[in-house]
Amino acid sequence: MVLFCQCGSDRVDIDKWDNQRALLKCFTCQRTAWVEGFTISKLDFVEQLFGAILDQSRKYRKRNPAEHERLFRDRLQEKRASRR
Name the residue ranges covered by the structural domains of the chain: 1-43, 44-84
How many Å apart are CA 15 and CA 47, to the nearest integer? 26
- Please work out, in degrees rounded to the nearest 5, the angle formed at the alpha carbon of residue 78 by the alpha carbons of 75 and 79: 85
pLDDT number for residue 49: 82
Task: State the Cα–Cα distance between residues 15 and 59, nearest whole angstrom.
Answer: 39
Give the pLDDT score at 3.
78
pLDDT per residue as tens, the chain (84 positions)? 677 888 888 888 888 888 888 899 999 999 999 988 877 677 777 888 888 887 777 766 667 778 878 888 898 898 888 877
pTM above 0.95, yes or no: no
